[in-house]
Amino acid sequence: MMKQYAAEFVGTFWLVLGGCGSAVLAAAFPDVGIGLLGVSLAFGLTVLTMAFAIGHISGCHLNPAVSFGLWAGGRFPASQLAPYIIAQVLGGIVAGAVLYVIASGQAGFDVSAGFASNGYGEHSPGGYSFTAALVCEVVMTMMFLVVIMGATDKRAPAGLAHIAIGLCLTLIHLISIPVTNTSVNPARSTGVAVFVGDWAVAQLWLFWVAPIVGGVLGALVYRFIGKEEASR
């Protein structure tokens, strides 16, 4: 089991460092910034690469909402929820610390500017309301779990699940970065929010509750639409 937990730690570390790192270091870099499209791709690529690297070890959840969703979908034991989530959160925080050390090496760095944290209201990139953020996070995570469970179904084409899941996370970011800076992952949100403190920590609860609710809903949706009919 320790290898599974270590894999979740490493995988979530890579997701936060790669995804949030692209947003903090490269999104608006003068003249050659990667922009929102680049950040969206970065998040998708972290999941895609880790799915190939550790999927056979831990299942590559990298996300408490995914772990809760797979549990609700009957694909993950309740006894492993807590250790998986602890490993994911710790991996996210360590990645946030590494990113902080790198980013603070530039003159004028100001962590209070956001540090890729998720937010709503005045802290939403597009000024979206609490309600908009709540609905967005629930629905995006719900669809993420539908894709995850469908792509990993034994009836799905073999060997392509990692690609579908990585591209799904890319699409989610393309849709929702302007709304909340895209969470759909409490560990990702926590990993950077703890270094910003203040408003980022005050609003962090939403980015735990909404993704977990969405993940469970997505699993239940797939259990309904994906249920095999009994043979007659």
Q: d(Cα 206, Cα 195) in Å, to the nearest integer?
A: 17
Q: Please give the residue that has the higher pLDDT: either 32 or 186.
A: 186
The whole-model pTM stands at 0.94
223 token code pair: 């259990």
**Which region holds residue 31: left if phi is over 0, alpha if psi is between -120 and 50, else beta?**
left
Q: Residue 229's pLDDT is what?
A: 66
In order of 13, 21, 52, 197, the CA distances from 99 in angstroms are 10, 6, 24, 15
For range 214-232, the mean pLDDT: 85
Q: Which pLDDT value is given to residue 14?
A: 98
| Three-class SS state of 211 | helix
What is the pLDDT confidence band of residue 58, given thresholds at 50, 70 and 90? very high
Beta strands in the chain, from DSSP E residues, in sequence order? none
pLDDT tens digits for 33-43?
A: 899 999 999 99
How far is the CA of 197 from the CAs of 63, 114, 147, 151, 203, in angstroms? 21, 10, 33, 37, 10
Give pLDDT tens digits for 160-218.
999 999 999 999 999 999 999 999 999 999 999 999 999 999 999 999 999 999 999 99
Query: Burial, 48: exposed, middle or buried (Cβ in 10 Å; 0-12, 13-18, 19+)?
Result: buried
pLDDT in tens, 111-125: 988 899 999 999 999
- pLDDT at position 230: 56
